[in-house]
Chains A and B, each alone.
Chain A
Amino acid sequence: MNIHTSVSASARKVPKAVNWNRLQDDKDLEIWNRLTVNFWLPEKVPLSNDIQSWATLHEDEQQLTIRVFTGLTLLDTIQNTVGAPTLMADALTPHEEAVLTNIAFMEAVHARSYSSVFSTLCRTADVDEAFRWSEENEFLQAKSRLILNEYDATSSPLKKKVASVFLESFLFYSGFYLPMHWSSRAKLTNTADLIRLIIRDEAVHGYYIGYKFQRMLETLPEAEQQEIKDFTFALMFDLYDIESKYTESLYDCVGLTEDVKHFLHYNANKALMNLGYEPLFPDSVCQVNPAIMAALSPNADENHDFFSGSGSSYVIGKAVATEDEDWDF
């Protein structure tokens, strides 16, 4: 029997089977392991414990929260269905493609999580109204459009990565602020636990895609590197402009806009650092409310350090699994 099948010139090549025991880039396995160990589902978080707390929010605070979460859902949806898949075509290794499938799926989990919050806490009519709002909100639509334009510009793998890192390490944070704010006031604390799982995932995504960006960038001649850098900062300015207006439109009514903007600056700097660039915003405009920082990383500041002048002794840390078998002493 003749097993040869005809192959037209345009047909895709049969890919090579992915061999995880032959790595071209150790980072791929490191991140694969990190992401798979960190896997979670919203069912793990007891959101129903927030029902009473939800009832203590004023109507406008509830509406703000639902709208913020709807905006986050939109970004996760874009990242799940367009962002991560579009990066796969540019992968430098087969393992990178596999990592990106994990990233894509977790973005679907994130998007799905907000609906878990909604079905647990909110009235269907209010949620439906917020989804309609998200389709019509000019700022939400504008930032989505800017990101999608880069994802669709297939000519530049680097620009796609910049857009992806900006979405995951910057654009989410006007939304993430609110559950951290509620949590700092002992409200919606289980919802905040869920959001922190999303925040943790986004850090790994931003780090990894930023790392791949740097690997690709360093292969370019200097002039092209400069062009990408100019593009990166220009896109940041454009997105920041929209984010500022989005933030004002959401948070002016609760008097939190200025505080949120500090949080935006702080995260914009971290997004740029993920790409290997210097921070853009000076520290003076990145003074995030300490209560928000504490909500972001609870207990992390129990052990004071010396150089901050915030403590006088070092504390022997809490007992947690370490890699004891690797240490000789």
Chain B
Amino acid sequence: MGQIVYFSSASGNTHRFIEKLGAPALRIPRNKSEALPRIGDPFVLIVPTYADGEGRGAVASQVIRFLNDAPTRSLLKGVIASGNRNFGAYFAYAGDVVSRKCGVPLLYRFELSGTDTDLFRVEHGMTELWKRQS
């Protein structure tokens, strides 16, 4: 069984989604001075999007720092991204960027802190994903 690693800024949308999901999850710290989590098992990354009108800056810098570590990156199995459809083509764009940079599938996208449908699909999808991995 793999694990979940996530990032959430001070607005806490992704954190609330993780809380509702109820599965154990490691949080990438907001503060640059705090140690990044050590990963020993395959994991799925859940990240929010901060893109501007041209898609720049979509991935939080702490997430980039976390993924810059090659051993960590080798355990990444997929990415789930949150965002807001109001950003048009760049909705949940952090997922596209991480997927492309790390060569992992974009598993799912949801808006803000997610709906019941989002929770159901992520729970179900994660179960299936880890079944296939094992």
The chain A residues found within 8 Å of chain B, CB to CB, are 25-27, 30, 33-34, 37-38, 40, 196, 199-200, 202-203, 207, 210-211, 214-215, 269-270, 273-274, 276, 279, 282-283, 286, 293, 296-300, 303, 305-308, 314, 316-317, 320-323, 326-329
Contact = CB atoms under 8 A, between A and B. Distances in A.
A298 B88 contact: yes
A297 B108 contact: no
Interface string B110-125: 0111011100011011
A207 B11 contact: yes
Given A214-B12, A273-B112, A300-B89, A307 B84 contact: no
B70 A305 contact: no
Given A210-B11, A269-B115, A326-B64, A306 B96 contact: no
B92 interface: yes
Contacts of B73: 329
Nearest to A294: B85
B112 A200 contact: no
A210 B84 CA distance: 14
Given A273-B13, A305-B108, A34 B89 contact: no
A103 to B, nearest CB: 15
Given A203-B87, A211-B10, A327-B101, A308 B56 contact: no
B87 A200 contact: yes
B122 A307 contact: yes
B86 A200 contact: yes
Contacts of A282: 116
Given A300-B88, A314-B105, A320 B54 contact: yes
A307 B89 contact: no
Contacts of B111: 270, 273
